[in-house]
Structure 1
Amino acid sequence: MNSPTGAIDPMKLQTIQACLDTQFRNVTFDQKIRPTFTYHHGDHKLSWLLVIHEEFFADQMSLEELWQFIDAKVIKKILQNPGKRIQVSKYWDVTVEERIHS
């Protein structure tokens, strides 16, 4: 399991980022509050968010399984819900959350 300091396997982060890079641009990762990937799609000026529960990374998945999950489930959900925050739970559930614009 990940340490309380928030250490996440860098190979898993690289795998997710590489997978997102196939469909999106300016993909970045930040872990200030929760593990979050920020990216842009097409000409949209607003950044889109993918938030992943930290315990998801503790799963003993292979990097290939992770790539297939992100590619088949997460990216599909992102493209079906443009501009909305997508979240992945520790149980591999992919949900959509409306972004609140202020």
Structure 2
Amino acid sequence: PCPLHRELGLEKNRRVLEEDVAARLGLLAAEVRSGDVHPPVDPDAHRDRQDVLGEALCMLGELESDPEALLDLRPEELAGAPRDEAAYLRSLLDGMAGELTARMLDMGTGDGA
């Protein structure tokens, strides 16, 4: 989550930031990627909703708390997965509730989704 998500969603602002970072650090160039940036939201405030968002957050909560349910979603062969597949799959869920909430509430993620 980032309070500057709207600003970072604009290419012009990212270019200015890249130039500033490069100049301050004495670099030839810098690159700013904002793909996973979303506004700060409280997913817990929306879990009791009687709509798709509430249901999706409940399902996500179940996956986060139940390793067996999480493992049921994995394919037969999970390419590149470490030994602890449950931990790996849980790591993929990190931050997902906030991003899901922001996107479903259409809080300006900067990508038009």
TM-score by length of structure 1 reads 0.27
Larger relative strand fraction: 1
Greater length-normalized contact order (CA 8 Å, ≥ 6 residues apart) = 2
Larger relative helix fraction: 2
